[in-house]
Structure 1
Amino acid sequence: MPLQLSRDPVPAMLQLLDDNIWTAAGPQVGVLGFSYPTRMVVIRLAGGDLFVWSPTALTPELKAAVDARGPVRHLVSPSAMHNLFLSEWQAAYPDARLYAPPGLRARRPDLAFDGDLADGGGHPWSDEIDQVHFAGNRIATEVVFFHRPSRTAIFTDLIQQLDARDLKGWRALVARLDLMTGDQPQTPRKFRLAFTDRKAARAALTRIEAWPARRVLMAHAPPVMEDGQAFLTRTFAWLRD
């Protein structure tokens, strides 16, 4: 899906969520006529290195805020659809390693990737951050992360919520039918229908639901700050049925 940067980028500054984990709102991004909020996450690992999840537009203010927290060593794109700002971050942090989710290497051959987001351990962050490839979807393949010290689960596209007040006419109708403007974040209908391998998806969900999540962060929805594990159980009840 084509992405366009909004004409009015949102100034992004880091907000502390818990010890060594911050989030920042990025600019609105246009996808097929719809504007999506964006969010990135910065985690400081035990050794002081920074893990940057789904980097948003790199403004001077954001760069200064990130640099004040430590050296950027890991740039992580959690979904093949989240690649709009990777080149500017790679240029700004040439010593950082860039990691690709499934499908992104083929989509962005112009980028020099240093590693892939394979399941299991072996990554420099594995002692503190768990990850699961939420497989089985034709259009929304993503890697879900869990920061164990803060008990924070981090999702990309599989859980979303748009503000209905920002949508008019046919866009409001489409968003409502796609389950994107409900009273809480949930999986859009198009992504539910795109799960062609539900066995693989349920296996990933079983691992995710075992996380003792307190909060849930999402790229395109307000954060859920409490009872995250119960929220995930409710949100993915449709997949277990």
Structure 2
Amino acid sequence: MIQDFASGVYLANGAEVSVAGFHYPTRMVVIALPCGGTLLWSPVTYSTTLANAVKTIGPVRHIVAPNSFHHLFMADWAAAFPDAHCHGAPGLAEKRPDLPLGDPLGPKPPAAWYGVIDHLIVETRLTTEIIAYHKPSRTVILTDLVQNFPRDWVRGWRRWVARADLLTAPRPTVPRKFRLAIRDRAALRHGVDDLLSKGADRVVMAHGAPIKTQGADALRHAFVWLKP
């Protein structure tokens, strides 16, 4: 149920969600914090069994929706862990005023995970996404900005839409719709270069197989289209 991915980083796969007839796998990242608690990044479907598994790592202290799409299950986790702090990407509070969100996350991480997780804020016309960089394990965590589905994941006429959007490209990449929606390509290029300079050994995506080795090479390929 929970996979040990890297030192202090764990993965939990959730149920598929359907958006406009497309079925998306879901994945939550559980990060152990220096305080002894855990941070849930992009929460998946809540279950008591999963919650108990998370608690074996540490009590849930923070719950993060890293863009304005990955909020569907936050309320259930917040209700189960009322003492946890809920955080959202810019724009989510306006979309989900019912969620107990504090101030939107920004480039400077909160004190609870400062020095452990860095943020890269990516603004698009579709959503604003926070890319996380877990410094101890050199793991880059993305939500929707980079995706990679098996070629036969989508069937029927949607298969052609998925191919045109690069969702089923041979290697993880940024879907075409997000490429067109990027507000500041230069800022994104600088941010990706900064991540690569820190060292990126591993990559986790919400919609694609986790990458345990040669993460920097995978990121270079995913963002090669940003080159001037």
Matched, 1:130 2:130: no
- Aligned mate of 1:78, from 62, 66, 78: 66
- Aligned mate of 2:178, from 179, 184, 191: 191
Per the TM alignment, residue 130 of structure 1 is displaced from its structure 2 partner at its CA by 1.0
Alpha-carbon separation, structure 1, partners of 2:184 and 2:166:
21
Instruction: Please name the residue that 2:56 is paired with.
Output: 68
Query: Which runs of 5 or more residues in structure 1 are unaligned?
Result: 1-12
Count residues with an aligned counterpart: 228
What is the aligned-residue RMSD (CA, Å)?
Answer: 1.3
- Aligned mate of 1:41, from 12, 22, 29: 29
Q: Conserved in 1, the CA contact under 8 Å of 2:201 and 2:214?
A: yes
Q: How does 1:1-241 map onto structure 2 within 5 Å?
A: 13-135=1-123, 137-241=124-228
Instruction: Please name the residue that 1:5 is paired with.
Output: none
Q: Deviations over 1:149-202 (max 9, x none)?
A: 111110010100122223222111110111011111111111111123223323
The one-letter code matched in structure 2 to 1:191 is F
Alpha-carbon separation, structure 1, partners of 2:135 and 2:217:
17
Q: Conserved in 1, the CA contact under 8 Å of 2:173 and 2:221?
A: no
Per the TM alignment, residue 121 of structure 1 is displaced from its structure 2 partner at its CA by 4.2
Q: Conserved in 1, the CA contact under 8 Å of 2:172 and 2:218?
A: no
Per the TM alignment, residue 211 of structure 1 is displaced from its structure 2 partner at its CA by 2.7
Q: Percent identity?
A: 43
Q: Conserved in 2, the CA contact under 8 Å of 1:140 and 1:158?
A: no
Q: Deviations over 1:194-229 (max 9, x none)?
A: 123223323332332323111000001111110111
Q: Conserved in 2, the CA contact under 8 Å of 1:213 and 1:228?
A: yes
Query: Which runs of 5 or more residues in structure 2 are unaligned?
Result: none
Does the C-alpha gap of structure 1 residues 54 and 121 become closer, same or farther in structure 2, counting only changes over 3 Å?
A: closer
Alpha-carbon separation, structure 1, partners of 2:89 and 2:194:
18
Alpha-carbon separation, structure 2, partners of 1:240 and 1:75:
34
TM-score by length of 1: 0.90
TM-score by length of 2: 0.95
The one-letter code matched in structure 1 to 2:213 is E
